[in-house]
Chain A
């Protein structure tokens, strides 16, 4: 079963506008949630994570994400997009069930394009 879903393959936004990249998860309880970014021909870079505590987490490059337990979502947001934010974004979840304690499940990715 899919543990994490990114419903949009692509998101397009104008520079200066707010952006949202959506992520929902399907594991039980309160999972650990992560966002990564991948630039062309580069490895994945960590942006932010939710482990416990405040539902709103802030990360690198002005990004933030909000953990919403009732909607099982962890959407990535930024108040004002930059052209340099254009990249592939991955949501990931770490399950707390015993047999897969270390495994990180990734979504399929969302291509963000910010035009000038």
Chain B
């Protein structure tokens, strides 16, 4: 597709339930990111994939959160035993990977429109 696609766009669930959020990145983008955005806040980093592997998962708040990207394309963010505090917009982004002299990725992130999660 032309852009990053996230499904569902809206998810309402009850406390304690399991939730999966899906991200389909731009074709050819090797890097994939998950962020969480609460009202009035900037996006908060959760996890970053380079290919199939999680290059940095230190932003996941606890072990109820898990993400996979088994074939290096689509990614799924999984939340177990949801809590009301998990309510937020979950953003996915992808980017090409370009580096200067082995440094960090210089590529900009392209974001999807997000999945709004509401835990009742």
Contact = CB atoms under 8 A, between A and B. Distances in A.
A binds B: yes
Interface residues of A, number: 27
Contacts of B110: 46
Interface residues of B, number: 30
A23 to B, nearest CB: 11
B40 A105 contact: no
A14 interface: no
B105 A46 contact: no
Contact of B111 (A44, A51, A102): A44
A90 B111 contact: no
Given A49-B108, A103-B48, A90 B42 contact: yes
Contacts of A100: 56, 58
Most buried by B among A43, A101, A102, A103: A102
Interface of B: 4, 31, 33, 35, 40-45, 48, 50, 55-56, 58-59, 91, 93, 100, 103-106, 108-114
12 contacts: A43-B4, A44-B43, A44-B93, A46-B109, A96-B103, A101-B103, A101-B104, A103-B45, A103-B48, A106-B42, A106-B44, A108-B42
